[in-house]
Amino acid sequence: MTSALRHVTIDSSDAYTLGSFWSEVFGQPLHEDDKPGDEEALIEGAGLLFVTVPEAKSRKNRIHFDLQPQDRTREEEVERLLALGATLVDDRRRPDGTGWAVLADPEGNEFCVERSAAERAAG
């Protein structure tokens, strides 16, 4: 018998607030039972569970998300995520259109935004 991945659990200082940010990123709702102040928040459709822990984030992530926009360009997605509360950490976009942008969520967890499939196909 093998194991199946049930959730990716992300430690946070405020599970509901961070879960709400990622809920907007993925366009997936938080679980109907989740409320502000809860110790956990779940985005079932994305398999992400946010858990409030007492320790602050102290180092660079050992694992992160690489996002690929589905219905917009990389640039449009970066702008949308910045408006949601992300910050630009490192700009790896190149003049020829390749590369990616490294952003951080409101608690400092880094993630990357790559080109969309349409942008990759266009060259």
64-123 belongs to CATH 3.30.2310: no
- Tell me the two tokens of residue 74: 């990389």
Tokens 């998300």 map to which residue? Answer: 65
Phi, psi of 84 (to 5 degrees): -80, -15
Distance of CA 67 to the CA centre of its chain: 8
Sheet of 65-67: strand order equals 65-67, 110-113, 101-104, 87-91
Is the pTM value of this prediction over 0.75? yes
- For the stretch 46-87, pLDDT in tens is 999 999 999 988 888 888 999 999 999 999 999 999 999 999
Crossing angle of helices 74-84 and 15-26, rounded to 10°: 150
